[in-house]
Structure formats: structure tokens, C-alpha cells
């Protein structure tokens, strides 16, 4: 119980430093500006037809692998210095023990990933204002864009699978994308953590970037290879009533990500315990 409390304290301390710092706010501001630029055609479509959209744009943003990569680059910026071993954190690690401190850093990565994708959801709703309807259904706009060519004729190139609208409720879809997004964020964060402890920061960033960019260059690959590109699981384009994505079962995706997270997390904690942790500037 004492160790669990210390893990929570380490994560809470790191989160407070994150909120007080400038990096997270700069990343979120850049995300918002980028998102705003990407939805200009949709905003024009809503104004022209005087239509109100429900706040469920979020899941469809990740249909485009380039948009997905851009949003995940924010994750790399936030976690590139993992395990965040500053001079202040050095004393925390001494007091709690390196293993407990490393577990707290992993919990911090999890919380930050969850909050990051929650912030993206709120941004995706905010960019629809003033043509935003707070109804808990797909509504006419998303159904029209999914089932007709009206969006393409107006220059709106969002990919909205009609099968998702038929099979899943809006909040269910948002929750699933939030879960997959958070797990991918933790996976990338731990990958950067691992490379920073065992090898070099630059190598970790390169490998993480490779995971982001591969889906943008490999659109038509055998389904089995999609298991090696977890970022591509953010896309809904193969999901149906049995919750599968392009041949990769959603439950299997979550289990694979959880397995990778626990494995990487174990190596991260072991590395912090056995090796000298590189100190970073505050």
C-alpha cells in the first residue's frame, strides 16, 4: 500500500509539473490550430446548409493516416524526455526507490495520454461551434457525409464509414478510439522511455517516428502486417458489428497493446533499477 501511494505521488507530482510547464500548452495550441485548418471545408459545409453537427467528429479524424501521425507527433514531443529525470526528480527517486519512481513515471505517461486524447476530443467539438448540436446521436450531418456524395462535392473529404454509424453508438465509438489512442500513447511513451534508459534519445525518437509514418506509406498490406502497426488501429475503416478493423480483431488489438505495454514497462522499471538514469535539464 505504501508503494502504491508513492507511485501515485510520483505521477501526481509529474502531472503538476506538466501543467505548470509550457510544452503541453504549446502542443495543444498547435494541435488546435492544425485541427482548425483541417476542418475549414466542413465548417463551410455546415454554414452553407445551416446544419448542426453532433460532437462526434473525433473518431473520424483518425481515418486519415497523415492526420493520425500529426496528432501522435504531439505525443512524441511530450514523452521524448521520458523518464523525466530532472535534478528535482533525483531526490524523489532516492526517497521512493528507483523501481517505485519508474512505475510512477509510467502511470504519469498513462494519465497524460488519456488527458491528451480527451483534449483532442474537446477540440474536435469546439471547432464545430457555432454549428454544434449536443445531441447524443449521429445526427443528419454525419449520416449525410457517410451515405451520400454531398461532402465530396463540397470539398469535405472526411472518411466516415456508414457501417460504424449502423453498428455503434456515438459515445461507444468515441470511447473505443479514446482507449486505442491512449494505449498507443502509452506504448510510444514507454518505447521512448526504454530507449532513453538503455540506448540514446535520438534512436528512440527515430523508432517512434517510424511507427507513426509506416501507416502513411503502407495502405495496402496483408492484414497480418497491421499487427505490427498499432497506430493504424486508430482507423475505423474496417470496423463492423463484430468490432474488427481490417482483419485485426479489436479485442486482440487491445490485448496486444496491453501485453506490449506491460512488457515495455517491465523493462523500463528494470532499466531504471539497474542502470544510471540520464539526467535532463528542467
The pLDDT of 259-280, averaged and rounded, is: 75
Q: Where are the beta strands (DSSP E) in 143-257?
A: 244-245, 248-249
The pLDDT of 255-270, averaged and rounded, is: 86
More confident residue, 250 or 109: 109
More confident residue, 121 or 100: 121
Question: How many CB atoms are located within 10 Å of the residue 279 CB?
Answer: 11
Secondary element (H or E) of residue 75: helix 65-79
C-alpha cell at 38: 483541417
Axis-axis angle for helices 98-126, 170-198 (nearest 10):
140
Interval 108-130: pLDDT, tens: 999 999 999 999 999 999 999 98
More confident residue, 145 or 226: 145
Interval 197-228: pLDDT, tens: 888 777 778 878 878 777 776 665 555 666 67
Confidence (pTM): 0.86
Amino acid at each position: 500500500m505504501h508503494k502504491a501511494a508513492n507511485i501515485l505521488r510520483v505521477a501526481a507530482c509529474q502531472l503538476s509539473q506538466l501543467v505548470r510547464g509550457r510544452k503541453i500548452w504549446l502542443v495543444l495550441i498547435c494541435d488546435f490550430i492544425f485541427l482548425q485548418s483541417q476542418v475549414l471545408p466542413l465548417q463551410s459545409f455546415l454554414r452553407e446548409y445551416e446544419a448542426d453537427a453532433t460532437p462526434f467528429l473525433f473518431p473520424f479524424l483518425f481515418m486519415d493516416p497523415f492526420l493520425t501521425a500529426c496528432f501522435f507527433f504531439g505525443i512524441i514531443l511530450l514523452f521524448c524526455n521520458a523518464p523525466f529525470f530532472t535534478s528535482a526528480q533525483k531526490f524523489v527517486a532516492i526517497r521512493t526507490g528507483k523501481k517505485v519512481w519508474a512505475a510512477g513515471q509510467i502511470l504519469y505517461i498513462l494519465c497524460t495520454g488519456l488527458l491528451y486524447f480527451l483534449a483532442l476530443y474537446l477540440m474536435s467539438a469546439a471547432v464545430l461551434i457555432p454549428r454544434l448540436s449536443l445531441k447524443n446521436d449521429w445526427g443528419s450531418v454525419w449520416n449525410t457525409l457517410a451515405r451520400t456524395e454531398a461532402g465530396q462535392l463540397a470539398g469535405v473529404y472526411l472518411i466516415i464509414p456508414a457501417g460504424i454509424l449502423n453498428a455503434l453508438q456515438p459515445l461507444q465509438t468515441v470511447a473505443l478510439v479514446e482507449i486505442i489512442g491512449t494505449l498507443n500513447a502509452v506504448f510510444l511513451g514507454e518505447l521512448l522511455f526504454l530507449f532513453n534508459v538503455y540506448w540514446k534519445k535520438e534512436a528512440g525518437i527515430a523508432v517512434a517516428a517510424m511507427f507513426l509514418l509506416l501507416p502513411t506509406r503502407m495502405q495496402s498490406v496483408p492484414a497480418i502486417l497491421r499487427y505490427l502497426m498499432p497506430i493504424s488501429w486508430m482507423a475505423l475503416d474496417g470496423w463492423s458489428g463484430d468490432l474488427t478493423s481490417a482483419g485485426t480483431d479489436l479485442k486482440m488489438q487491445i490485448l496486444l497493446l496491453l501485453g506490449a505495454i506491460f512488457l515495455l514497462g517491465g523493462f523500463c522499471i528494470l532499466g531504471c533499477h539497474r542502470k544510471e538514469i540520464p539526467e535532463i535539464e528542467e
